[in-house]
Structures are given as C-alpha cells and as structure tokens.
A and B are shown apart, each in its own frame.
Chain A
Amino acid sequence: MPSGFHFISSSTRQRALGSALLLCLAFGFLAVPSVLNAQEFTELPPELDARAADLYTGIMCPICNGQTISQSHAAISETMRKMVRERLVAGDTNQQIYDSMVEAFGRDILASPPKSGIALAVWIVPPIALVLGGFAVTLFIQRLRKTNMLATGVTYADRHNETDEELERYLQLVDGEMEESH
C-alpha cells in the first residue's frame, strides 16, 4: 500500500461505507460526514487545486446515487478526496491517481467510461449517429429542392392573411438602406 493509505484501516472504511450506505439507502442523499481529524487533513499547495478539482469530478462516490466525490458530502467521499490530495502532494500523475482509486474502490468509480472494451460503444455511437443524422439532413434538403416543384406553396400564414405585410415593407426598407450604405 502506498503511504497515505494507512488511515483507511479496513474497519474505518467499512464503518464509513456502512453508515453512509444506510443513509443513502434511506434518503438517497447527503449523509453526515464523519468527524474530520485536523491532523489527517492534507492541505494542498494552491498550484495543485485545479488538478484536484478536476480529479474530484472524475471519480464517483461509490454509494451516493450518481454523485461524484466533488458533489457528495458522504464520509466516504471526504476520505476519497483526502486520498486524491495525498497522492497529488506525493507527485503522482492523474492517471496514476485514477489507477490507484480504481484499485481501491473498483472500476465503477470512474465517472468517465473507459475508452476500451464494451464501454467504447459509449464514445463511438454518438459521433456515428451525428454523421448519419447530418447525412440524412443533407439528403432531405436535396430532396426538398428537387421534388415538390408542383406544390401550391399556399401556406397557413397565407390563408390566414398573416404574412406580415407591414413587416415585409419595412424589411424592404431595411434592405434598401443596406444597399445605400454599401
């Protein structure tokens, strides 16, 4: 175990998990955090704050209904944030920190699905769908331009005398002025 892991003795972790889990099950929400110990608190040098904030939003609280450890007040999240801070101070890279968190809490705590294996589908499907959608829209525009040439062109607005004549008049005015000014 890397240094800094020592404080999560298995009993502490189980207790934290157990109590927070109970609360989350009961109310699905915030749990009262355990009492922090000032001696164990790792304060970050300011230059590492941004990376810490970034890492917090990448890690899910394992027991809190879809919240990241950045959002959750559960004891376990306090613990996990502390772990992240300690690894940052120790000089680890983001990847190393994610790896160590996965090792300790399992793969599901990653907020961002991995870009490998079956989870790759999460990332690949949206661009494919968008390209197909763009293709469909292009085809649709082409078809609209070619066909329907015999269509009447009578619209709801025409029938209900709603083609804002006043608007059209003044738009012409605007266009006229545009021409003048150019």
Chain B
Amino acid sequence: MADLGTSAMLIALALAIYSGATSLVGVRTRNVAMVASSFRANYLTPIALGLAVLALVLAFVRNDFALTYVAEHSNLAMPRIYTWVAFYAGNEGSLLYVTFALASMTAIAMYLVPRRMGSQRPYANLVLMLILTFFITVNLFMASPFATLSVIPSDGVGINPLLTHPGMFIHPPLIMVGLIAIAVPFALGIGGLLSGRIDDEWVDAGRTWGLVAWALLAIGLLLGSWWAYTILGWGGYWAWDPVENAAFMPWLALTAFIHSIMVQKRRGMFRLWNIALINISFILGAFGIFINRGGPVPSVHSFGASTLGWVFLLFLGLVAFSSFGVFFYRIALLRSSGNLESALSRESAFLVNNLLFLGIAFVTLWGVVFPIISELVLGRTITVGQPFYNSVNGPLFLALIFLMAIGPLLPWRNATWGSVGRAISIPGAISLIITAIVVVIEVRNISVIIGVAVSTLVAVSITQEWIRGTLARHRATGSVYPLAFLQLVASNRPRYGGYIVHLAVIMLSFGIIGSTFYNIERDVILSIGQSADVGDYTVQFVATETTTFADRTERTATMDITKNGSFVGTIEAWHGIYPSFNMLSTRAGIRSTPIEDLYVIFSEVQPDGQTAAFRLLLNPMIWWMWFAGPFVILGTIVALWPTPQRATAVVTNASQRGTLPTGRVS
C-alpha cells in the first residue's frame, strides 16, 4: 500500500509540474497543442491522487499498521465507518485530502472555464498547478501518510474519541475544502492579471467559484458550531478560538468579494478592488491553513502536534508577496469603465458592505496575531479572548444587518432619499412596533434592542420585496401566486438567492442574540431523586446507568423534565471516559424547541454512584441557528444556478484556427 500510495503521488507531482510548465511555455509561444496537453495533464492529476487516497483508505480498512499514520489514527476496535474521519485526523492524511480536493476542483474548474477567456485559462492553470505542486511536494517529502514503521505494532493507538461524532464527518472536510477552494477564483483573477487582459471575462467563473468556496466554508462553520454545541459540553457554539477565526476570516473576505463582484458584472466598476479582495481572501485562506495545520497558536483544534509551521508560513508569505506583486505590476490595466452617479446607490452600499466585512476580518486577525506579536516582542502572551471579539465585532455585525435592510432596496447608479424612504416605510414601521413590544416586555439591553430592530427590519423588507414582486408578476403574467413567486426567483437568481441567505442570516442573528444575552446557566450537584430548577423548568435526576466497553466507560443520566409543573419529557445526558486517551467526552442531553433549548451536561459521578455534578443551561432561540443551515445551502444553490445564456455568440473555436483565443468574442 505504501509503495502504491507513494508512486501515485509521485506521478501526480510529475503531472502537476508538467501541466504548469506546458501552460506557461504554451501560452508564451502560442502553441495551442501544448496548452491542450497541459490541460489534459491537469485532468489526470486528480486520478493519480485518487489512487493515493484509495491506497490510504485500503490501508485503514485492512488495519495495515505498518503505516505510521494508520497505526497512530486507528485500531482494531475502530468501526470501519470511522475510516472516513481517521483519514484526516492527522496532518499527513488531511494534507492528502486537501491536495486531492484541490486537484479535483482545479480539473473541474479548468474544464468548465469558457474558452472565450483565452490566455487567462493557461495562466490560471499555471497558478493552480504551482499551488498544487507545493502541496504535493510537502505531502510527499515532509508529511507523507505512507511513511512506514520498522516494527509493526499488533494494534494501533485508535481514533480520537472527540472525532467520532456525525458533525466530524462533514465539518473538517468542508472547512479544509472551503479554504483551498479559494485558490480557484484567486487563480482566475491572477491568471487574468498575468495574461495582461484583465477585463470582466473572469467575473462569472470567479463569482461561481467564489460562491462555492463561500458556501463550503459557511456550512463547515455552522456544522462546527453545531458539533461544539452538542459534544464539547459547555453549552456554547462559538469561542473565537484561533482556528475558528482562521476559517472565519477568509469567509468574511469572500462574503465581501461575492457582493462586490456583482458591481463589476453589472456596472464594470471595482475591477481593481475585486482582484484585491480575492487576493486578500486567498491570503487569509493560506493564513487559515497555516494556523490550522501549522499550529502556531494554542487552540482547541490542536489535535496533532505539527512541525510543518514554517512550511505553511513560507506558503503564506509566497502567496501574499506574489499576488500583490502581480497586482501592482498590472495595476494600470485595472481601470473601471463605469462611474458613480450618486453617493446614494447600490454601488456605494456594496462598498460600505466591503468595509464592514473587511473591518470584522481585520479585528479578528488582530485578535489572533496580537498574542503572537506580544509573545515575540514582550516575551509574554497577552490573551485576547471572547470579550474582546464580542465587544468590537458585535456592533460591526449590527451595522452590517442594518445595511442588509437598506442595501438591497437601493437601485444601481443613483437613488433618492425619497425612494429609499418609501421602500423602507412599511418595514420600518413594523420593525418599530416589534421593537416597542420587546421593550415593553422588559428588554433593557441596548444591544438586544438594536439587534431586534435591525433584524426585523431586514426580515420584513425582504418579505415586502417578495410580496411586491410576486404581485407584480401575477398581474403582468396572470400566473397563480406560487408560480409567480417561483418565476420571480428565477428571473434574477443572484438577487433572490441572496435574499434567501439574508433570511438565514436573520435566523442566525436571532439565535445569537437570544443565546448570548438570555442564557441561564447553573452548576448543581444532584443525588438520584433530587431536582433543580432552571428558568421555568425543573430537572429531576432519575437514574444513571454505566456500561463498560473495551475502549471506554459510558454513563448516561436520565432526567425527568417538568415545565411550570407539568411533565414534558425525559432527556438523557451522556458521557464517556476513554482510559487509553485519558479523556472525557460529553454529549449533552438537549431538549430543543424553537423558543429555547434545555441543555443538561452530565459531568461527573461520585464514587457512591448516586450523586453527580450537572450543569444546566437554558439557551433561548438557539434552535434557529441550526435551522438556518439548509437556507444557506438553498440560497447558494439558487444564486449559483446557471442563468440560460441568451444570444451569446461563440463565434469560432479558435483552437481550430491554430491560434489561441485571445480576443473577446464580439
């Protein structure tokens, strides 16, 4: 297996180098056949890497403990299904996974990129192959999953029990793919700069792949939060941990990008800015990989010690230096063709949006790097924790939500205060009424009041847009209302897909506000039969059961829940003790409703087996955070669904004429 894997990776390395080199030489010498060959080599790399992936999977399945990586991350007792997780549980395997994902996306992206992009294609391919070559090299020579042990152990160490959770099946792979997926739009942008004809042709492909990376990260982050909430057993979902931040920052920059790229598409503006944004996104992505896989800062996510820090730091430096090097070298080409007619327009709203998203990304970056700086300069780490992020980023998020209510109502080019006022009058009134009600029922926290006001403003204004559009369409075409609504959404998918995602953001916002400001938390010790109150609930400790397995001892506590005196159900809180890992893994008992979650952590049992420590939490509205996830996916799919191209004239297949397609299609 080791030989097969290593050979496959060597072949992939050769293919990537060949593809990159022939792309460069081919486009320089205008040799069409060579460029075509370069693309074919590109398409073969995921197959070679797929073989390496297969070799490692087989090694896991066959318990081939001759491989260091397999011995360290699995054992005979591990259920086969966890091979999927064990595969990326350590640096070597996760790098192979990332490399394979990058190669696959590169092949798909380069295959789909329209030919009219001309010499941008081989240049983009060159950039992607350089990145791929870097990753294969590191994976092959510095962190090979196919390294072997001289003495074959009879059993492996086993899988980290924290990873054996459904969330872990999807969260880490999504985040890793999301981070590396930014390479595709980045390469398209840089490829355009290198080819010297950066116009708006990269906009569609760049937006598509930007959205893909964005959605992967968004869902990955949400699932990570859900995992933390259900298994880490502290009742929270987001800790501003350095590794969370490392995935969050590129997501923020990408969010700015996928908004701003629409301005270039519709108005031919912000050309310079969009390239800068995608550069920043990928640099932050590289920073994310450095933090995640290089391990410079202590984090909950430090599952495996890493010696690869300097390698990824080097990668980060190279990406930052070369991307902005090319950017400034070609800056003269990046003039905008449109102009701004009014400071009050959707274009300006997008600029403010970008400022806020990059502002939050900067604040977060600052919080991550400051401890590193203080360690280097002062020799003393200054901790920058949750309170800093909450108090600085909180207001910025509120400003963003407010902008989310106003921005979509502004037309392109110019708007008048009167038209904005008319559009916002109904949502504004409804939002004021709801806010007033909230104040009357004793909400005194100013952040909450503002949060509720802006969130309802967005929700109502989106609803108003939908109702108005559907009514207009119904009257114009006579379609029945549901059909009219679908036609409306189909008529401008980027816009209405965006609205769906905006609604999901509002659900998240309510979930965050409720669970941040109104959670109740109690630490109690209960003997069997005793009960404790939390909010309107009474939690009674009914029974506990201990089961011993080969690798762990599991305990469950059964709790009867009554609300305002009437019985509402039973929940089970679980924990497992893993002696070989000396770890405690908890799975909270959660009674989830859209209004509030009752969350019971079963932390410890006394030697007598009759008394245990519990932490009881009441998390209002947190349910909405997980409910929002499917809407993020739905909105992205709607926004990405290809619009049928009307009357696009692809005049010639230039490659048949023996020249590269360089000119734009007229």
Residues of A in contact with B (beta carbons under 8 Å apart) = 23, 26-33, 35-36, 38, 41, 43-44, 46, 49-50, 52-53, 56-58, 60, 65-68, 70-73, 81, 85, 108-113, 118-119, 121-123, 125-126, 129-130, 133-134, 137, 140-142, 144-145, 147-149, 151-157, 159-164, 166-167, 170, 173-174, 177-178, 182
Contacts and interface: CB of A to CB of B under 8 A. Distances in A.
Contact of A43 (B268, B300, B525): B525
Given A33-B603, A144-B340, A65 B523 contact: no
B491 A161 contact: no
Which of B336, B380, B583 has the most chain A CB within a 10 Å cutoff? B583
Interface residues of B, number: 99
Contacts of B264: 155-156
Nearest to B298: A65
B418 to A, nearest CB: 10
Given A38-B611, A66-B300, A155-B268, A122 B367 contact: yes
Nearest to A111: B385
B544 to A, nearest CB: 15
Contacts of A140: 351
Contact of A26 (B199, B523, B582, B607): B582
Contacts of A66: 239, 241-242, 297-300, 385
A35 B604 contact: yes
Contacts of B267: 155
18 contacts: A30-B585, A36-B525, A43-B525, A53-B519, A66-B242, A70-B234, A72-B234, A108-B380, A109-B383, A126-B359, A130-B359, A144-B269, A144-B347, A145-B339, A155-B266, A162-B646, A173-B472, A178-B468
A21 to B, nearest CB: 12
Contacts of B367: 122
Contacts of B387: 57-58, 111-112
A122 B389 CA distance: 11
A35 to B, nearest CB: 7
A113 B388 contact: yes
- Quick one: which of A129, A130, A148, A164 has the most chain B CB within 10 A? A130
Interface hub of B201, B524, B604 (most chain A Cβ within 10 A): B604
Nearest to B532: A43
Given A46-B522, A66-B241, A141 B583 contact: no
Contact of B351 (A46, A58, A73, A137): A137
B265 A31 contact: no
A173 B367 CA distance: 49
B236 interface: yes
Contacts of B104: none
A167 B265 contact: no
B370 interface: yes
Contact of B385 (A112, A134, A149, A177): A112
A44 B521 CA distance: 11
B382 A108 contact: yes
B302 interface: yes
A174 to B, nearest CB: 5
A35 B606 CA distance: 7
Contacts of B491: 164, 166-167, 170
B337 A155 contact: yes
Contact of A52 (B234, B266, B521): B521
A68 to B, nearest CB: 7
Contacts of A162: 643, 645-646
B300 A122 contact: no
B603 A73 contact: yes
